[in-house]
């Protein structure tokens, strides 16, 4: 069957009139067809165009495709047919009060009143704390016990509520409730002028500053036809890889700490700082804030900085390899990692896992390879997937990516990098345009989508952090796993709370 | 006779005072392996003083049981130390069968800790209590196996008959190789009873993985201080047994003290090294590990059957 979706490319500005606007039934059939054939959902959201309520979706197979339709107030749920729509339909129901009939688990996502001020799908009045009018999933039985953790945790981490239904030490089901950090990011985006976009994007999730900044910058660039030069692209690629390095190394250290194997935890903790300091060296901020701007970067990479970067990288690489070996060759660590919290390839596929968590479960998708942006065309990222889907696989994916990232950065800083810093910060966005951008942040596919109205104002700004896909992966990993292995599994996913809560 | 008594009481007091020091050694060793400077050796004293200066916070849903827990667990551990021959000297109290009394004094302390944990009605604490009730059962079996061995060797049933004066050296002479097993077995018991890696992780902040720590999460201030002191004394008790076994010499003071405290330091360093070079076991593998101690003690006993 020929589908009615329009093929698009990553970061391409498209006249909104060219995006197929289908009748809902066709839209539904086509979307289901593509996903049934192995397609994945990048974006699926609702938006208000004047008085009309519309849906739009971006799917990916080996290419990206988009289509939209008029949104009915009530529609037969797509999740009922194919699971990957699960979170997206819940999000739409929450944001716009549109009910997917037959959705298997229609529950709020972030707990806020809908934007249209229509009747609440979940029957909440939002005067109570989370979860309001919702009973957590319960398992019944004589020996079943329930453990509730959070939203305030023992470590300095973000808030989230976890509810375990256990029999003895074994977890039968884990329910994760987030939304404690909902700030209304998407509505904030559509309310501001283009000048403030970079500041907002940088603060969606602090640990994915570069990932979100890049998505925003590429989207604005597409809509303003400003193009970054080659040097800027190289610097942004380096920044994204440095972000990946710092976080992956931090994660590996934390994984080690969670199994009480302290030396790598300490060493990696220090090295994470070393890699953050490389970002500091480039732009004066350890998380890369203030570096990426639409049109390029705000800091050049002088030869002095390049030399220092090279030297520090040369010094760090053997240390990293040494500690990686210390961690991965310890038999007691292997014993803890292997076979713990398995997510099968089929489950991962149904849940639509992305990033290292997806690659650990046998889904090779990597935006850097599949829909390359910036300088990734020239870099050549190799496929890196594991098949076991356990904590070990998730750690090993990080192991490989750490070495890969070091190699990428190393190759990029060999030659002088020339670029002009960006000074202009106010843009006029082209009217009635659509753009979707994807980047491989360290957690996986980060995607921003922007629609402008006929005056060039932002009509809808949609943000999707990889955590939106992956939290359910964590819940799945915990099934039939010991409750004492939860921290280890949680760390092996290390998902973002604020990236999800928006 | 009177002089010996005073000496024993003095040693008991010294034991209570030095107990927190050895926990400091463990922390120092771990810091060394982690490439850190680590806290000062006397850190645990500072911690205790800090805790004692604080006030306690009690949940409204707790009862008297919650307040009794820390006191009884400390008292029972201190009473245990009364039976312990320190540096090979006669203990303050001793009678035929005191080893069994000692074991159940420790059990009493554990019972009240568990009861206090259950009293909070927190799901974490209940989970920790279940684990704490389970693993020491195996330790107890192993300990009894060791007692059977010692009883066969000496015909006595008191700690002073095994660990004071010439007696320890005598044990080695009677059954050297099996005693090696006993040392390892006791070491596994020490790791389990004192919630060390690879059984438990005393450093973690993750409630779901804890065994002992999670049971005392709700205790604060002086109450928590008592629990900590009790834990140090318990570690001291098990370390002493091993220290005497690995350095069994009966020497005159002050040399005996040098040997004794060296032995304690060796045990502490060994604990620190183990915590640094291995990850902790998955919860369902812990019983297998603890059972090793029973198996070792069992084999040690079997082997001696031939000798006698």
pLDDT in tens, B251-304: 887 888 898 899 999 999 999 999 888 888 988 889 999 999 999 999 988 888
Which tops the pLDDT comparison, B147 or B207?
Answer: B147
Q: How far B170 CA lies from chain A's nearest CA (Å)? A: 38
Q: What are phi and psi of B155, to 5 degrees?
A: 75, 15
- Report the candidate in A270, A268, A244, A271 with the shortest Cα–Cα distance to residue A254: A268
Residue B49 has pLDDT above 60, yes or no: yes
d(CA A263, CA A252): 12
Q: Is the pLDDT of residue A132 over 90?
A: no
pLDDT digits 0-9 by tens, B72-90: 999 999 999 999 998 888 8
Is residue A248's pLDDT more than 60?
Answer: yes
pLDDT digits (tens, 9 = 90+) for A46-103: 998 888 899 999 999 888 999 999 888 899 999 999 889 999 999 999 999 899 999 9
Which residue did the predictor score with more confidence, B78 or B5? Answer: B78
Q: Which long-range contacts (CB under 8 A, 24 or more apart) does B106-111 make?
A: B106/B76, B106/B77, B106/B80, B106/B193, B106/B234, B107/B136, B107/B140, B108/B72, B108/B76, B109/B72, B109/B73, B109/B74, B109/B75, B109/B76, B109/B77, B109/B230, B110/B73, B110/B136
B198 touches chain A (CB under 8 A): yes
With bands split at pLDDT 50, 70 and 90, how would you rate the model's confidence at A1? very low
The shortest C-alpha distance from A268 to chain B (Å) reads 10
What pLDDT is stored for residue A157 in this prediction?
85
Residues 6+ apart with CB under 8 A from B302: none
Q: Do A335 and B33 touch (CB under 8 A)?
A: no
How close does chain B come to A459, measured CA to CA in Å? Answer: 44
Backbone angles phi, psi at A192, to 5 degrees: -100, 165
Q: Which of B197, B205, B208 sits opposite A483 (nearest CB)?
A: B208
Between A377 and B226, the higher pLDDT residue: B226
Report, as an integer, the average pLDDT of A121-136. 85
A260: nearest CB among B33, B36, B279: B279
* Contacts A261 to B, Cβ<8 Å: 278-279
Mean pLDDT throughout A432-457? 91
What's the pLDDT tens digit per position in A214-240?
999 999 998 888 888 888 999 999 999
Our CA-based measurement puts residue B130 at a distance from the nearest CA of chain A, in whole angstroms, of: 9
The Cα of A248 is separated from the nearest Cα of chain B by a number of Å equal to: 20
Cα dihedral A346, A347, A353, A357 sign: negative
Confidence class of residue A373 from pLDDT cuts 50, 70 and 90? confident
At A134, is the pLDDT very low, low, confident or very high (cuts 50, 70, 90)?
confident
* Highest mean pLDDT pick, A1-10, A191-200, A378-387, A484-493: A484-493
Chain A residues lying within 8 Å of B204, measured CB to CB: 257-258, 260, 487
Strands A99-101 and A74-76 turn out to be parallel
Compute the average pLDDT of residues A447-469: 90
Sign of CA dihedral B164, B170, B172, B175: negative
pLDDT digits (tens, 9 = 90+) for A406-430: 999 999 888 888 888 887 667 788 8
DSSP per-residue string spanning A325-368: HHHHT-HHHHHHHTTSS---HHHHHHHT--HHHHHHTT----HH
Rg (CA), chain A: 22
Averaged pLDDT score across all residues of chain B: 89
| Rounded average pLDDT over B58-65 | 89
Judge whether B132 and B212 are in contact, CB under 8 Å.
yes
Nearest-CA residue of chain B relative to A170?
B284
Q: Which of B205, B279, B284 sits opposite A261 (nearest CB)?
A: B279
The yes or no reply on domain A185-501 and CATH 1.10.645.10 is yes
The pLDDT score that the predictor gives to residue A500 is: 92
Q: Please report the pLDDT score of residue B306 as a whole number.
A: 64
Cβ count near A35 (within 10 Å) = 22
Q: Is B109 on the interface with A (CB under 8 A)?
A: no
**Per-residue model confidence (pLDDT) at position A312:** 92
Looking at chain A, the domain(s) classified CATH 1.10.645.10 span 185-501
Give percent of chain B with pLDDT exceeding 90: 49
Q: What would the mean pLDDT of A327-332 be, rounded to a whole number?
A: 91
Residues sharing a CB contact under 8 Å with residue A52, sequence separation 6 or more, in sequence order: A70
With bands split at pLDDT 50, 70 and 90, how would you rate the model's confidence at B307? low
Cβ distance of A270 and B35 shorter than 8 Å:
yes
Of how many residues is chain A composed?
Answer: 502
Mean pLDDT, all residues of chain A: 89
Q: How many CB pairs under 8 A join A and B?
A: 88
CB contact under 8 A, B280 and A483: no
* ipTM of the complex in this document: 0.86
| Confidence label for B125 from pLDDT (cuts 50, 70 and 90) | confident
The mean pLDDT value for B186-208 works out to 87
pTM: 0.90
Q: Is the pLDDT of residue B115 over 80?
A: yes
């Amino acid at each position: 069957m020929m589908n009615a979706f329009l093929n698009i490319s990553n970061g391409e500005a498209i006249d909104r009139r060219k995006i197929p606007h289908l009748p809902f039934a066709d839209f539904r059939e086509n979307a289901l067809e593509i996903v049934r054939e192995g397609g994945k959902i990048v974006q699926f959201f609702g938006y208000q165009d004047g008085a009309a309520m519309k849906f739009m979706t971006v799917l990916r197979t080996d290419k990206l495709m988009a289509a939209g339709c008029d949104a009915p107030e009530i529609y037969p749920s797509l999740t009922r047919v194919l699971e990957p729509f699960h979170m997206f339909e819940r999000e739409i129901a929450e944001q716009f009060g549109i009910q997917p009939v037959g959705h298997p688990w229609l529950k709020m996502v972030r707990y806020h009143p809908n934007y249209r001020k229509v009747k609440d799908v979940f029957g909440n009045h939002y005067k109570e704390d989370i979860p309001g009018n919702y009973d957590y999933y319960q398992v019944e039985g004589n020996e079943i016990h329930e453990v509730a953790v959070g939203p305030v945790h023992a470590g300095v981490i973000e808030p989230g509520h976890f509810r375990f239904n256990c029999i003895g030490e074994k977890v039968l089901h884990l329910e994760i409730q987030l939304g404690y950090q909902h700030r209304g990011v998407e509505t904030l985006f559509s309310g501001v002028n283009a000048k403030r976009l970079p500041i907002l994007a940088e603060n969606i999730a602090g640990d994915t500053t570069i990932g979100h900044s890049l998505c925003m910058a590429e989207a604005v660039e597409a809509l303003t036809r400003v193009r970054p030069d080659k040097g800027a692209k190289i610097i942004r690629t380096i920044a994204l890889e440095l972000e990946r390095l710092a976080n992956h190394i931090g994660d590996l250290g934390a994984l080690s700490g969670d199994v009480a194997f302290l030396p790598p935890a300490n060493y990696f903790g220090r090295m994470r700082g070393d890699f953050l300091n490389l970002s500091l060296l480039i732009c004066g901020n350890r998380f890369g804030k203030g570096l990426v701007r639409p049109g390029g970067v705000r800091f050049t990479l002088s030869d002095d900085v390049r030399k220092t970067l090279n030297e520090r990288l040369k010094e760090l690489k053997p240390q990293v390899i040494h500690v990686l070996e210390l961690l991965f060759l310890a038999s007691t660590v292997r014993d803890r990692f292997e076979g713990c919290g398995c997510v099968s390839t089929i489950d991962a596929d149904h849940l639509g896992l992305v990033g290292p968590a997806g690659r650990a479960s046998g889904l090779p998708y990597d935006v850097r390879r599949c829909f390359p942006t910036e300088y990734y065309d020239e870099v050549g990222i190799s496929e890196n997937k594991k098949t076991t889907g356990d904590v070990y696989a998730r750690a090993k994916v990080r192991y490989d990516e750490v070495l890969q990232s070091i190699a990428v950065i190393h190759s990029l800083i060999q030659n002088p990098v020339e670029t002009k810093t960006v000074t202009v910060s106010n843009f006029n966005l082209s009217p009635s345009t659509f753009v979707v951008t994807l980047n491989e942040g360290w957690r996986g596919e980060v995607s921003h989508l922007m629609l402008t109205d006929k005056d060039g104002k932002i009509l809808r700004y949609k943000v999707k952090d990889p955590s939106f896909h992956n939290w359910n992966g964590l819940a799945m990993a915990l099934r039939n796993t010991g409750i004492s292995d939860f921290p280890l599994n949680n760390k092996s996913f290390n998902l973002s709370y604020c990236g999800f809560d928006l | 006779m009177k002089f010996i008594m005073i000496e024993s009481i003095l040693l008991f007091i010294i034991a209570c005072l030095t107990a927190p020091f050895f926990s400091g050694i463990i922390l120092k060793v771990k810091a060394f392996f982690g490439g850190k400077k680590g806290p000062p050796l006397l850190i645990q004293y500072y911690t205790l003083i800090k805790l004692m200066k604080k006030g306690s916070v009690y949940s409204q849903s707790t009862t008297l049981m919650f307040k009794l827990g820390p006191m009884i667990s400390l008292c029972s551990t201190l009473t245990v130390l009364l039976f312990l021959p320190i540096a090979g000297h006669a203990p303050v109290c001793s009678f035929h069968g005191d080893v069994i009394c000692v074991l159940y004094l420790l059990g009493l302390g554990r019972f009240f800790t568990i009861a206090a944990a259950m009293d909070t009605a927190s799901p974490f604490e209940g989970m920790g209590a279940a684990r704490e009730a389970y693993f020491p059962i195996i330790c107890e079996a192993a300990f009894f196996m060791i007692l059977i061995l010692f009883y066969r060797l000496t015909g006595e049933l008191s700690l002073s008959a095994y660990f004071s004066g010439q007696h320890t050296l005598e044990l080695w002479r009677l059954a050297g190789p099996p005693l090696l097993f006993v040392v390892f077995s006791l070491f596994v018991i020490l790791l389990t009873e004192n919630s060390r890696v690879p059984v438990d992780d005393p450093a973690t902040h993750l409630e779901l993985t804890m065994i002992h720590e999670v049971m005392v999460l709700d205790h604060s201030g002086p109450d928590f201080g008592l629990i900590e002191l009790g834990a140090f004394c318990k570690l001291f008790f098990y370390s002493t047994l091993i220290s005497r076994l690995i350095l069994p010499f009966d020497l005159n003071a002050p040399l005996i003290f040098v040997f004794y405290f060296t032995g304690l330091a060796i045990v502490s360093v060994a604990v620190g090294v183990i915590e640094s070079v291995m990850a902790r076991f998955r919860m369902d593998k812990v019983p297998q590990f603890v059972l090793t101690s029973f198996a070792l003690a069992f084999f040690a006993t079997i082997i001696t059957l031939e000798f006698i």
